[in-house]
């Protein structure tokens, strides 16, 4: 059906070499052992070694010169990464990049137990579930799944959701947003997400789960976001605060919208 399966041994060697390059084990400009030598060293055939090197070359981590050898690129492959701390939307807009939203799905249904729990819903209560894709300069970087209790979700239209940030919609509807908790983790791309984000299945993703509460502690919104780490990362500035045993890092009051290299 598919056929485009990635190699396995080749992939391992690719990851190994990539790690060595990234960690300085193979300094920039240095020459790698010849392909036959690498093949012998790793106990694989030369074809497999070449596959691994192909991937490194595609990442622009190495330069291959026929007759001469394979060299670690002196110039690192750069960082098209966007940046942000807690406020996802506005900073991007401020940075002047054109971002877009594509609404992939929109429906009212019974939420998964984990979501119902987090929002403090009664058994059987339904939510509005929407899946949106966020783009920057036309390239998708974020896959957002939100759940909003049905009664709140009815205060705006599907059309609204495809254009206006959800929190703005909520506050426009008179909902008072008070506080939120969020957790950042990592996961792998499944088939649907991989497809939407233009990735291969099994690619690493940044995951963010945020639960938004109103003043009385009732759940307002459950957001699950998946980010392509090569196009998006969380950046923040810290300052050293406290004294003695209580000395610790504390985040700088935001505002520090980080510049990006793009």
Partner DNA sequence: GCTACCTGTCTAGCGTATAAGACAATTGGC
Partner DNA sequence: GCCAATTGTCTTATACGCTAGACAGGTAGC
Residue with the two structure tokens 């929109």: 106
Q: Which does 111 bind (CB under 5 to 8 A by kind): DNA, a copy of itself, none?
A: a copy of itself
Task: Look at residue 164 and give the partner it binds from DNA, a copy of itself, none, a contact being a CB closer than 5 to 8 Å depending on partner kind.
Answer: none
Shortest distance in whole angstroms from residue 127 CB to a copy of itself: 9
Q: Hey, what are 176's tokens?
A: 């008072």
Compare residues 66 and 140 and give the one whose CB is closer to a copy of itself: 140
- C-alpha distances (whole Å) from 171 to each of 15, 155, 194 are 46, 11, 32
> CB of residue 6 vs DNA: minimum separation in angstroms?
6
Q: Which is nearer to a copy of itself, 67 or 71 (CB)?
A: 71
Residues 148, 119: Cα–Cα separation, whole Å: 9
Of residues 129 and 134, the one with the C-beta less far from a copy of itself: 129
Q: CB-based contacts of 46: which residues, under 8 Å, 6+ apart?
A: 35, 36, 39
CB of 195 to DNA, least distance (A): 16
Nearest-angstrom CA–CA distance, 188 and 165: 26
- Which residue, 3 or 138, is less far from a copy of itself as judged by CB? 3
Q: What is the largest CA-CA distance in the chain?
A: 71
Enumerate binding residues for DNA (CB under 7 A).
1-11, 32-37, 43-48, 50-51, 53, 64-70
């Amino acid at each position: 059906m598919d056929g485009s399966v990635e190699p396995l041994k080749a992939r391992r060697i690719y990851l190994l070499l990539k790690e060595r390059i990234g960690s300085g084990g193979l300094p920039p400009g240095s020459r790698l052992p010849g392909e036959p030598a690498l093949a012998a060293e790793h106990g694989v055939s030369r074809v497999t070694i070449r596959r691994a090197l192909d991937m490194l070359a595609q990442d622009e981590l190495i330069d291959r010169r026929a007759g001469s050898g394979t060299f670690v690129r002196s110039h690192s492959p750069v960082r098209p990464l966007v940046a942000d701390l807690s406020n996802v939307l506005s900073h991007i807009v401020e940075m002047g990049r054109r971002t877009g939203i594509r609404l992939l799905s929109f429906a009212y249904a019974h939420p998964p137990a984990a979501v119902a729990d987090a929002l403090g819903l009664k058994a059987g209560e339904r939510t509005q579930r929407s899946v949106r894709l966020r783009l920057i300069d036309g390239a998708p970087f974020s896959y957002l799944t939100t759940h909003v209790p049905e009664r709140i979700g009815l205060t705006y239209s599907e059309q609204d959701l495809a254009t206006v940030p959800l929190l703005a919609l909520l506050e426009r509807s008179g909902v008072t947003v008070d506080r939120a908790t969020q957790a950042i983790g990592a996961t792998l791309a499944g088939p649907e997400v991989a497809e939407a984000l233009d990735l291969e299945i099994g690619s690493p993703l940044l995951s963010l789960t945020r639960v938004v509460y109103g003043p009385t502690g009732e759940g307002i919104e459950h957001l699950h976001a998946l980010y392509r780490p090569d196009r998006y990362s969380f950046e923040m500035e810290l300052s050293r605060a406290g004294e003695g045993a209580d000395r610790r890092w504390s985040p700088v009051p935001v505002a520090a919208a980080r510049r990006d290299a793009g």
